[in-house]
Chains A and B, each alone.
Chain A
Amino acid sequence: MGTEDYIAVAADDWYQRRRQDAEGEFFRRVADQGPRKGQGGSTRQGIYCLTADGHLLAYKNAGQNPDVMREVLSEGLARWAKLPESQRRPGAVEIGSPESVDERYSRTLPPGGLVVKAFTRALDPPEQGDTADDAPACRVEDEAAARDHLWLTEREWRSLIPTNACEGQTLSVPAEIAERILRFHLVDNTRGEPPHWSREEIRRHELTLTVLETSPSGTRLRLEGSALLSTAADPDRADRGYDVSLLGYIDYDAKADRISRFDVAALGEHWGQGPYTRGARPGRTPLGVAFQLADATSASNAVPPQAARDLHGYFGGRPR
C-alpha cells in the first residue's frame, strides 16, 4: 500500500513544525486539520495521509505500529477514492517551487563527506555454553535495531588514514572523530530520542587505530578501544551511563580514493534513561552499536544525524 498507492515521505517533526517557510506552512496547515495543532510548539508527530494540495485524509499518532499504519493507510485511501475524479487525476493539481526555504532547518552532508550507518540494539547476555568465537551477547526477542547516521567531513575521514603508514603503527583516533562517536553515537536510542553525552560526561576513553596492512592499493586499519560515559564522575552514582568497548575495521581504497569499509561494533553495559527514552530495563544491561558504511547517494541515507539539530555542536563547536 505504502509503495503502490501512495507517495511516501518521512520527516522529522522537530524540523517541520519549526521551519518558517513554504513547506513548514503547508505542513502546519495540514496538521491543523487533525488533533495535533501544536499548541505551545508541541509535537505534531504521527502518520498523515493527505492530498498534494493539503487536504488531510487520515491521521493517527502510532509510532511504528504496523497494524495502525495499515489502518490509517486504508482509511486514507477510502477517503481519497471519494474525492471527485477531477481532484484525483494526474496533473489535476499543480505544485510549483517553494516560495521560501528556511535554511536554519536545512541539513546537508558537506561535499565529499562520509555517511556511516549507526545501528543500536538492546541485547541480552550470551547463552550458556557459548565459546569465545560466539557473539558475546544475544538478541532480545522482538527488539528492533534503532538507527542513526554518523557524518564525517572529507577532511575528517581523510584524517583517519595515516600518511606514510607502516604496518603495526598505532595512532589515536583523531579527537574530533572520537568525540563525535562517543558523545552522539554511543547512546541508547532504542526507545526514542536519546540524550547525548556532554564533553564532561566522557569520563574515560581510549580509541586507537592500528595499521594492519598498507600497500599502493590501500590501507587497512583496526579501530579499537573503550570508553566510560556517565552522568556522574563516579559511575556507581550516575543515573545514566555506558561502559563500552569498541572494535572495528576501516579500509581505504587508494585507487578509488575513498573509504570502502567502515565496520565497527561497540558493546557494553548501559544503564538509565532520558526524558524521551523511558522504560529502560532495570540495572546495567548489554547494549550494542554497529557502524557500517552507507551509500551517501541514497535519499534515506541523506537523513541528518539526530544530534545534527545543533549542526555547529555536532561538528565540534560549542552548542548554540
Chain B
Amino acid sequence: MRPLKFYRALPLAAVVSLAAVLADAAEPVSPAAFEKLHALIAPDAGEDQWTQIPWRTSLWEARVEAARQGKPILLWEMDGHPLGCT
C-alpha cells in the first residue's frame, strides 16, 4: 500500500515522484500497528450477532431436527455460503 499518510504532508511533485518510486511495492505492515490493523479488519462482536444463531449446515439434518421438535425450517441459501462467503 502506498504511504497515504505522507501524501497529505508533501507537495504534489514530491508525492508524484515518491509514488513512482514505490509503485512496485506495497507499504509494509508495521509490527507496531499489527494488532490494531488485525482488529480493524476482523468483525466486532456486535457486527457478528447473526452468527449467534445456531446455523446448521446440512439441510437434511435440519429436516430431521425440525420434524423432531415440531418447528419450521429457515433455510438461508446464497451463491457463496452465507457462513463462508459473505
Interface residues of A (CB under 8 A from B): 2-3, 5-14, 16, 22-23, 26-27, 30, 43-53, 57, 63-64, 66, 73, 76-77, 80, 88-95, 98, 119-121, 123, 125-126, 128, 130, 132-139, 144-149, 189, 192-193, 204, 224, 226-228, 243-249, 263-269, 276, 286, 288-290, 292, 299-300, 302-306
The answer to the question of B26 belonging to the interface, with a C-beta cut-off of 8 Å to chain A, is yes
Q: Tell whether, in the assembled complex, residue A7 and residue B56 are in contact, meaning their CB atoms are under 8 Å apart.
A: yes
With A245-B28, A304-B84 already in contact, the answer to whether A269 and B2 are too (CB < 8 A) is: yes
Q: Tell whether, in the assembled complex, residue B33 and residue A90 are in contact, meaning their CB atoms are under 8 Å apart.
A: no
Q: Tell whether, in the assembled complex, residue A189 and residue B85 are in contact, meaning their CB atoms are under 8 Å apart.
A: yes
Tell me the smallest distance from the CB of B53 to a CB of chain A, in Å: 5
Q: Tell whether, in the assembled complex, residue A6 and residue B84 are in contact, meaning their CB atoms are under 8 Å apart.
A: no
Tell me the smallest distance from the CB of B61 to a CB of chain A, in Å: 8
> Which of B26, B69, B84 lies in contact with A7, CB distance below 8 A?
B69
Question: Per-position contact with A for B26-44: 1 when CB-CB < 8 Å, else 0?
Answer: 1111111110111111110
Which residue of B is nearest A44, CB measured?
B77
Q: Tell whether, in the assembled complex, residue A247 and residue B28 are in contact, meaning their CB atoms are under 8 Å apart.
A: yes
| Tally of contact residues, B, Cβ under 8 A | 62
Q: Tell whether, in the assembled complex, residue A9 and residue B59 are in contact, meaning their CB atoms are under 8 Å apart.
A: yes
Interface secondary structure of B, over-half rule: mixed
Report Cα–Cα, A161/B71, bound state, in Å: 48
Q: Tell whether, in the assembled complex, residue B42 and residue A9 are in contact, meaning their CB atoms are under 8 Å apart.
A: no
The answer to the question of B25 belonging to the interface, with a C-beta cut-off of 8 Å to chain A, is yes
Q: Tell whether, in the assembled complex, residue A135 and residue B79 are in contact, meaning their CB atoms are under 8 Å apart.
A: no
Inter-chain contacts of A144 with B (CB < 8 A): 43, 47, 86
The answer to the question of B21 belonging to the interface, with a C-beta cut-off of 8 Å to chain A, is no
Q: Which 8 A-B pairs have the closest CB atoms?
A: A90-B70, A303-B84, A290-B41, A9-B62, A247-B29, A6-B74, A135-B36, A288-B41
Q: Tell whether, in the assembled complex, residue B64 and residue A95 are in contact, meaning their CB atoms are under 8 Å apart.
A: yes
> Which of B39, B56, B67, B77 lies in contact with A94, CB distance below 8 A?
B67
Report Cα–Cα, A12/B63, bound state, in Å: 17
> Which of B31, B43, B76 lies in contact with A145, CB distance below 8 A?
B43
**Pairs across A and B, CB under 8 Å, 28 listed:** A2-B50, A2-B74, A7-B71, A9-B57, A10-B75, A12-B78, A12-B85, A13-B77, A16-B59, A23-B60, A27-B59, A48-B75, A49-B74, A50-B72, A51-B73, A92-B67, A92-B70, A133-B36, A135-B36, A136-B5, A136-B29, A147-B86, A148-B85, A243-B26, A245-B1, A288-B40, A292-B38, A304-B84
With A144-B43, A265-B34, A299-B55 already in contact, the answer to whether A9 and B25 are too (CB < 8 A) is: no
> Which of B1, B31, B32, B63 lies in contact with A95, CB distance below 8 A?
B63
